[in-house]
Structure 1
Amino acid sequence: MNTTQFIPEILSEKIEKATFTWQTPSNIALVKYWGKSNPQIPKNASISFTLNNCHTITTIDFLKSENSEKVDFDLFFEGKEKEEFKPKIAEFFNRVAKYCPYIFDYKMIIKSENSFPHSSGIASSASGLSAIAMCLMSLEKELNPDLSKDFINQKASFLARLGSGSASRSIEGPLVVWGAHPEIEGSSDLFGVQFPYEVHPVFKNYQDAILLVDKGEKVVSSTVGHNLMHNHPYAENRFTQANENLEKISNILQNGDIKAFVNLVESEALTLHAMMLTSNPYFILMKPNTLEIINKIWKYRAENESNICFTLDAGANVHVLYPENEKDAVNKFIEEDLVNYCQKKQYIYDTVGLGAVKK
């Protein structure tokens, strides 16, 4: 793995102060990754839909300061200083310092806000860390105007990955693959790449309704869950299965076999949680209402010959996926039935998006 391309050689410009704002989305994996090695290298490839409405908006003020050995930053989340978030961001800066040495030259004031509840299984670390990565790359572009857009996106994905693996999939869209895979041209363990093949029309402008079953903090963090894969009795078979499923879904996305899509996506979601159930120590992130919703979706699909399906991230919330031509009917089903299983009847309508946007 060649990471030297991301180490800047010459930064030609001098910048005393600058401010950049980026809106970057969350994403929802169709084929999941669960298990990694250092530094943030996935045990299997994954693919995700980039979302649109679930996003983080981050502004970073860069103020030139005395060069130091420690990264200097203040962090504000939704208007309040968040000391408890700082250790994770400090660790991220330590990991990227080799590739962004200019961060030692600036005091950074980071202001961030989400369009969705933090730590509720909507991949807030993905959108949050990808937003910081894009702000860093905006500064690097000012320091070196010769950088291309493609390089900026690739390096931003590379940097974001060092903070959160799934963050590597939040720079671009609508479908992003992270992890080296022989069937995906250009794929890499180091950064996410756009799905390189033409997608069947049925999968364009796909809908994702996120049902907020439980907005509280997860009982087990994703980091802990990933680490439990190291001695997991089924880990190697799972990694093989995921890579095989990625090849299958690549073909499905191209040929439009929506029934096969439904089967594979739901199987992947349940397999992810099966790995949690069979870890040691074992844990459950689903809630009773998660299962109620899943059974309601299965019943609705059978009775209405629908192509609705569900997927889950590492949490209790349910992502309801469906093609645009079923939008009115499925939204009615959500509002009349499924909403009753959501915490405070809260849900988010989302669609597939195109990635990071500069504000």
Structure 2
Amino acid sequence: MEEEFLGNINFRTSHQIVSQSCPSNIALIKYWGKSDTQIPANPSISYTLSHCKTNTTLEFLADEKFSVQTFLAGKEEEKFAKKIEEYFRKIQVYLPWILQGKYCIKTENTFPHSSGIASSASGFGAIAKCLMQLDQIFTDQNGEEYTLRKASFLARLGSGSACRSLYPGLVVWGHTKEVRGSSDLYAVAYPPHQIHSVFKRFHDWVLLIYEGEKSVSSSVGHALMKTNPYAERRFQEAHENLHKLTTILQEGNMPGFIKLVEHEALTLHGMMMMGDPAFILMETGTLQVINKVWEFRRNTGLPLFFTLDAGANVHLLFPHHIEDQRIKTFIEQELLTFSQCGRVVKDEISF
């Protein structure tokens, strides 16, 4: 199946500058555990965010010695440049022209670094889109659907979850019988006509509980699933939860949606705690916020709920159509105190 993405060697090189933007995403059903070729151990589904994006400009100078120079928010990052060089070498089979020039990559995020918003997803998504823009210039390959799918395929090889950021709305990565056309190699959009309108617009406010570097990287965490005694059951459960979610999405079952999304978030961190070695990425403030959210929902009946990425920060989700101001007031007056610097990133999902 990967053969459809093999590069066409009849290309024209030149000096080119391309720019692309790509949003981040937040998984509802989590992917945790993968093979060395970035194949997920279970399918996942995510919401693509609206405002938290990576904006990237890529300059390509043809017929020069292959090298990569990277700048993040104007600051040169040599460590990241080496990572991108390795990535380009990995994907050369799919883009035969890629090592035949020099690159200068300038990238900026619209959200704080280490904010619990997946910058690797939006970052590699933006780079993959830039590369496909160049590929369209250099080769005879074209077509919007093909370009988008190959960009998702290439983004996955840089950061697994990045493949989901290429599409708006709800996005599935990983083969599942629940979604036609789903694949381990790239992401696909979840069929919009199978999603009740109540699930198409959400606020996502991210409480920045901890803004430092994680004690254990996601790459290490994924690798530890290979020896986790509960891994196989977790992978099976992800399939089961995706099956449940398809019904929830069609019926507009908000209580069922909230229960499943929060369970998935806690399961992700449960897998971390049951690994060898075990590790904990949640902070005290994370747990305090979770308990506060549960208490608020019991007392008000309002649909405020949470999910977590592989870190301490908390994504607070609530439907856009809720006009009751108690949710926003509660977050600002009761929950911001648990964030490291009183900060929250306000985003939304809309499609």
The TM-score bracket by the shorter chain reads over 0.9
2:8 is matched with 9
Question: Are the aligned partners of 2:8 and 2:96 in contact in 1 as well (CA < 8 Å)?
Answer: no
Structure-to-structure mapping, 1:344-355, within 5 angstroms: 344-353=341-350
Q: Give, as a single letter, the amino acid of the residue that structure 1 aligns with 2:80.
A: F
Tell whether 2:126 aligns with 1:126.
no
Structure-to-structure mapping, 1:210-289, within 5 angstroms: 210-289=206-285
Moved over 3 A (4+): none
Question: Are the aligned partners of 2:200 and 2:350 in contact in 1 as well (CA < 8 Å)?
Answer: no
For residue 310 of structure 1, report the CA deviation from its aligned partner: 0.2
Tell whether 2:132 aligns with 1:137.
yes
Question: Are the aligned partners of 1:50 and 1:352 in contact in 2 as well (CA < 8 Å)?
Answer: yes
1:28 is matched with 26
Q: Give, as a single letter, the amino acid of the residue that structure 2 aligns with 1:34.
A: W
**In the aligned structure 2, how far is the partner of 1:260 from the partner of 1:88?**
41
Question: Are the aligned partners of 2:207 and 2:343 in contact in 1 as well (CA < 8 Å)?
Answer: yes
Q: How does the TM-score come out when normalised to structure 1?
A: 0.94
Number of residue pairs matched by the alignment: 349
For residue 16 of structure 1, report the CA deviation from its aligned partner: 1.3
The secondary structure found in structure 1 opposite 2:315 is strand
For residue 10 of structure 1, report the CA deviation from its aligned partner: 4.6
The secondary structure found in structure 2 opposite 1:102 is coil
For residue 326 of structure 1, report the CA deviation from its aligned partner: 2.4
**In the aligned structure 1, how far is the partner of 2:343 from the partner of 2:191?**
35
Deviations 1:313-339 (A, max 9, x none): 000000011111226432221111111
Q: Give, as a single letter, the amino acid of the residue that structure 1 aligns with 2:27.
A: A
Deviations 1:165-212 (A, max 9, x none): 100100011110000001111000000000024210101111111111
Question: Are the aligned partners of 1:43 and 1:239 in contact in 2 as well (CA < 8 Å)?
Answer: yes
Question: Are the aligned partners of 2:201 and 2:321 in contact in 1 as well (CA < 8 Å)?
Answer: no
Q: Give, as a single letter, the amino acid of the residue that structure 1 aligns with 2:29.
A: V
2:17 is matched with 19
Q: How does the TM-score come out when normalised to structure 2?
A: 0.96
Q: State which drifts further: 195-204 or 233-242.
A: 195-204
Structure 2 gaps of 5+ residues are none
Question: Are the aligned partners of 2:289 and 2:338 in contact in 1 as well (CA < 8 Å)?
Answer: yes
Superposed CA RMSD in Å reads 1.3
For residue 8 of structure 1, report the CA deviation from its aligned partner: 1.9
The secondary structure found in structure 1 opposite 2:32 is coil
Deviations 1:201-252 (A, max 9, x none): 1011111111111111110000000000001100000000011101111221
1:357 is matched with none
Tell whether 2:98 aligns with 1:103.
yes
For residue 304 of structure 1, report the CA deviation from its aligned partner: 0.9
Picking from 28, 32, 37, the partner of 2:35 is 37
**In the aligned structure 2, how far is the partner of 1:73 from the partner of 1:86?**
6
For residue 97 of structure 1, report the CA deviation from its aligned partner: 1.2
For residue 15 of structure 1, report the CA deviation from its aligned partner: 3.9
**In the aligned structure 1, how far is the partner of 2:113 from the partner of 2:97?**
29
Question: Are the aligned partners of 1:56 and 1:113 in contact in 2 as well (CA < 8 Å)?
Answer: yes
**In the aligned structure 2, how far is the partner of 1:8 from the partner of 1:84?**
28
Question: Are the aligned partners of 1:120 and 1:217 in contact in 2 as well (CA < 8 Å)?
Answer: no
Deviations 1:27-79 (A, max 9, x none): 0000001000120000000000000111111110111124x5xx411011110
Distance 1:18 1:329, change over 3 A: farther
1:313 is matched with 309
Picking from 53, 58, 65, the partner of 1:60 is 58
Q: Give, as a single letter, the amino acid of the residue that structure 2 aligns with 1:82.
A: E
Q: State which drifts further: 296-305 or 222-231.
A: 296-305
Picking from 41, 44, 49, the partner of 1:46 is 44
Identity in percent: 49
Structure 1 gaps of 5+ residues are 355-359
**In the aligned structure 1, how far is the partner of 2:78 from the partner of 2:22?**
23
Tell whether 2:175 aligns with 1:180.
yes
**In the aligned structure 1, how far is the partner of 2:350 from the partner of 2:35?**
29
